[in-house]
Amino acid sequence: MNYNKINNLLGWFCAIIATLTYVITAERTTSWWDCGEFIASAYKMQIVHQPGAPLFLMIENLFSNFAMGDRTRIAFWMNIGSAVSSGLTIMFLFWTITALARKVFAGKASLAEKLLDTVVVKIMGAGLVGALAYAFSDTFWYSAVEAEVYAMSSLCTAVVFWAILKWEVRADEPAADRWLVLIAYVMGLSIGVHLLNLLVIPAIALVIYFRRSREVTTSGAIKALLIGVVVLALILWGVIQYLIKFAAFTDLFFVNTLGLGFGTGVTFFALLVIGGLVYGIWYSIKKIKPILNIALISLGFIILGYSSFAMILIRAKANPTLNNSDPDNVFTFLSYLNREQYGDEPLFKGRFFDARPVDLVESGKVYRKDNDKYVVAKKKTAYKYDKETVFPRIYSEKGGHPGFYREYLGLGENQSPTFADNLKFFFGYQIGHMYGRYFMWNFVGRQNDIQGHGSLTEGNWISGIKPIDDVLVGGQSALPNSEKENPARNTYFFLPLLIGLFGAFWHFGKNQRDAGVVGLLFFFTGLAIVLYLNQTPLQPRERDYAYAGSFYAFSIWIGLGVLAIADALSKKINTKTAGYAAIGIGVLAAPVLMASQNWDDHNRSEKFLARDMARNYLESCAPNAILFSYGDNDTYPLWYVQEVEGFRTDVRVVNLSLLSSDWYMRQMMQKVNDADALPINIDPEKVKDGVRDVIYYQDMQIPGYINVQDLLNVMLSDNSQNKAQLQSGEYVNLLPTKNMQLVVDRNAVISNKVVPQEWEESIVDTMQWNYSMNYVSRAELSIMAILANNNWKRPIYFTTTTPEENYIGLDRFLVSEGFALRLMPINTGLNQGDPSAIVNTDAVYDHIINKYQWGNIANSAFLDPDSYRYISLYVSSIFGETAQSLIAQNKNEEARNVVLKAYESMPKKTFQMSEAMSYTPLVDAMYKVGESAKAKEIVARNLKYIGENLKYYMNISETKNNFEYRNIRFGLASIQRYQQVLESSGDKEMKAEVDKLFKEYAYLFQQEQ
């Protein structure tokens, strides 16, 4: 057989199979989380969140051209960019597996050595099984169908690991080290995608040592490994961070000391680096120092690849619409690369979560570009704590983290954690839950896609073997149909895992060195990341994508498992038959099984909700509106539909979590697209970095309510009489009262049609409210300034998903117009503390019937949790409450239209307990408008769901997990609500069903009371 020809053809075959799979299942538009930001930024070459991904953006921009000018197809083609990258990853994985397998049969993998046909068949079978197993694995497939960096990052990892094996084969040939230069260049390029690829370096160091060393020893291997770790550290910190840091402080010296222009120091330093590299390479050639030569050339190519980050600086200078952190000078660029807006996690030494600060020390300076010099904007500070430990793992005091630590570790309310607790959390949660669980998802099976925080019913790994799963996640006898039929319930019966373990043992037995290299790759792209990330609990999303490289390494062993099975079978049957049988077993037990299980929950071709939700937010707004959003899943899809599809660009989207930054506040004062600048009217010099970063509240006992403009004047004043003096002698601005008011220009409100005509009598002369926070950041300062300066010219909205504390106390003046709450200066006499109690029913009705789209969720075979979590909001607040309001206004025909739209647009299945409960207002409206048959169908479906799931939760409730108990309470509350609805509707048949369910769980109702 022609080994090379077959190897090449089958590699491309795997790439084509994988790519076609990903193209077919790719999302047709933007997805949740970072995808919207990446697509919008790639399309217009803009700046994404720290630390950036410039090469990824530039390559995805190329893929956008395949849309041929159709802006609604740009997101799809960028998703195809990930699909192609992922398909190529599978190709290189195939070639990696076959290269490692060939070495087992051909010593040092001599290209000239002929192999028996039976051996070639087994090697190719191993490559097919391992590569396609990874292609259809849960984590990799998920990233392959959306425009995120992880697919392209995986390609970089695959290329460099394949390339080092190519070098190994040719290491004795002239100019073989050009493969090492290629690896260095790809690593430099990968920095512009994601840093995960750098973790291959220690494995590469071992390959080089094993190939070039005349005598391999344990101590030599350890030294090579340590050198690899040092090289990794030099690139991760030396090249990526300190190269820019040295450039920054050189520029500081040239500008502040020598009086030269900005950038002269950077230019000098760049020339110095280039000159130093050129001289070093010349010196290495002259003095015949090959190791120094290849090291310096490789360093040069790493820096050349890293230069893709020039795109960040160049585009920041152009001030695009999306310009995260505005890194237009060397110090802001350094901050951008260091991810300083996200803070740091302690790695080697740090606090316990219940520690108390005992001292505050200076830890650095933040420089700001001012006029013709750099100035110190502020000093960085760090706390010293009364309880610190080495290797801190339970350190976060934020949010619900302390409570989670205590619950997970079994600590009492006032009990202090110990180092043993620290290790327990590390091994049990960070390794077991945040890595081991993900690993088992990919090679054993997954319970469902509900984000897991330790509950027996949330996102655990399972096998499909009932006795084992009964131990893992409680009794399965009462498993509800909703779980049995869940597309995200995937079971592989341990088969891929067993093949991989069999392959790993076989590999270590046949070629310990290569197996050690793969093991090292497995460790550094898996457990080493766990050590480095030091993740806190209650993450906002699953983080399995971070460990894809580890699953890649294990898939190598799945491929080699075919050879292990063939060896075992050859003891019973002839070698040729054993080879084919092993391939058949491997194909069926890994890629075929995994593809069949994973297809339904990875097919995102029918999902459009992220895009449609963003459109609905914008469609809720009147022309030229200001729309405040907060989270990633609010904001990034909004950026996508405006920047890419050009939809409702008259609305100015303002992300409140970014608005506290000086650069973002400054950008909001500029016109973009069709949206005018925000009417903030604050001198940027008064809120630049280091100036009024935060203003604290101190009650000055001022009687009555104070005008917002007067409070702004005090907080922005540079007069010491308007400041408070601290013990240090420093004067700072303060918020002197939380009682705020805004005098309302009634004529402006009416002329700008801020309120519906029938509500004009409810317009108040003065809006008065109590500020909801104990501090004022630039975000709250901006909102106050807009209130003071806008005079109702532009409509002001908040997305319905914005946390209430970010309304700054304006809750009772917010009126629902669908997916956005509009600020209106009215007093309707309704519940003053609940914005949902005030609904502009006519506006919502118009939006529901004529404008809103629902992401095809009624017809999609699969919905991810980020999508189905919105269903409760839709059926209760949007459809149910609107229909009830219309009925109260005797607009029964309009209410009927709403409930029919709901029936048509919502899924015909139930996803969660809270959703089952949220249907009651809609069901009640259906009965009232004569749609009893549809109401009965929904009630029957939801009661069946509640009954089955209550039985399931009660079957495992002895765990006393908050998630199960929360759902039990949801179920009980749902039963009572359905009883009320069915009693008033007169539906005796369904009332009997719910009463039966109530009777079954009557003892629980008594316990709740």
pLDDT, position 832: 52
pLDDT in tens, 546-599: 999 999 999 999 999 999 999 999 989 999 999 999 999 999 999 999 999 999
pLDDT, position 954: 80
Report whether 979 contacts 995 (CB < 8 A). yes
pLDDT, position 1008: 56
pLDDT, position 454: 73
CA nearest neighbour of 26 among 134, 137, 147, 132: 147
Give the residues across from 742 on adjacent strands: 767
Give the residues across from 490 on adjacent strands: 446
Indicate if the pLDDT at residue 1006 is higher than 70.
no
* pLDDT range class, residue 835, cuts 50, 70, 90: low
**Looking at this protein, which amino acid is placed at residue 124?**
M
pLDDT in tens, 490-511: 999 999 999 999 999 999 999 9
Indicate if the pLDDT at residue 265 is higher than 70.
yes
Q: Euclidean distance between the first and final Cα of the chain, in Å?
A: 77
3-state secondary structure 678-691: CCCCCCHHHCCCCC
Indicate if the pLDDT at residue 341 is higher than 90.
no
Q: Which of 76-80, 510-514, 835-839 is the most confident on average? A: 76-80
How many helices (H) and strands (E) would you count in the chain?
43, 19
Indicate if the pLDDT at residue 721 is higher than 60.
yes
Indicate if the pLDDT at residue 112 is higher than 70.
no
pTM reported for the whole predicted model: 0.92
Q: Which two tokens stand for residue 719?
A: 């007069």
Q: How many CB atoms lie within 10 A of CB 427?
A: 12
Using left for φ > 0, alpha for ψ between -120 and 50, and beta otherwise, residue 590 falls in alpha
Mean pLDDT is lowest, of 221-225, 657-661, 998-1002, for 998-1002
Looking only at the bridges linking them, the beta strands covering 739-743 and 706-707 are: parallel
Sequence-ordered alpha helix ranges (H) in 391-494: 401-409, 419-425, 437-443, 466-473, 481-484
Hey, where are the domains in the chain?
3-311+494-602, 345-417, 623-839, 870-1009
What average pLDDT does the segment 137-150 reach? 95
pLDDT, position 972: 87
Q: Identify each DSSP E strand in 569-647 by its residue range.
A: 626-629
Indicate if the pLDDT at residue 833 is higher than 60.
no
Q: Which of 370-384, 466-480, 746-760 is the most confident on average? A: 746-760
Q: Phi, psi at residue 387, to the nearest 5°?
A: -135, 105
**Residues near 560 by Cβ (< 8 Å), separated by ≥ 6?**
97, 100, 101, 126, 130, 503, 504, 506, 507
More confident position, 953 or 919: 919
pLDDT, position 34: 92
3-state secondary structure 278-311: HHHHHHHHHCCCHHHHHHHHHHHHHHHHHHHHHH
Q: What is the per-residue DSSP string for 953-988?
A: HHHHGGG--HHHHHHHHHHHHHHHHHHHHHHHHT-H
Q: How many residues belong to the chain?
A: 1009
pLDDT, position 475: 62
Mean pLDDT is lowest, of 33-42, 337-346, 903-912, for 337-346
CA nearest neighbour of 367 among 333, 395, 412: 333
More confident position, 399 or 273: 273
What average pLDDT does the segment 107-125 reach? 77
Distance CA 204, CA 212 (A): 12
Mean pLDDT is lowest, of 117-121, 285-289, 321-325, 718-722, for 718-722
pLDDT, position 45: 95
pLDDT, position 725: 78
pLDDT, position 455: 79
Q: Is 945 helix (H, G, I), strand (E, B) or coil?
A: helix
Indicate if the pLDDT at residue 661 is higher than 90.
yes
Cα 234 to Cα 231, 567, 632, distances in angstroms: 5, 43, 33
Please give the DSSP secondary-structure letter assigned to residue 426.
I
pLDDT in tens, 630-649: 988 999 999 999 999 999 99
Element (H, E) at 39: helix 35-44
pLDDT, position 822: 95
Cα 474 to Cα 68, 356, 487, distances in angstroms: 53, 40, 20
Q: Is 739 helix (H, G, I), strand (E, B) or coil?
A: strand
Q: Phi, psi at residue 777, to the nearest 5°?
A: -95, 180
* pLDDT range class, residue 109, cuts 50, 70, 90: very low
Indicate if the pLDDT at residue 732 is higher than 80.
yes
> Percentage of the chain surpassing pLDDT 90?
75
Indicate if the pLDDT at residue 728 is higher than 80.
no
Q: How many CB atoms lie within 10 A of CB 37?
A: 25
> Percentage of the chain surpassing pLDDT 70?
96
Indicate if the pLDDT at residue 116 is higher than 60.
yes
What average pLDDT does the segment 827-839 reach? 63
* pLDDT range class, residue 38, cuts 50, 70, 90: very high
pLDDT, position 107: 67
pLDDT, position 991: 92
Element (H, E) at 313: helix 310-317
Place of tokens 């898939």: 555
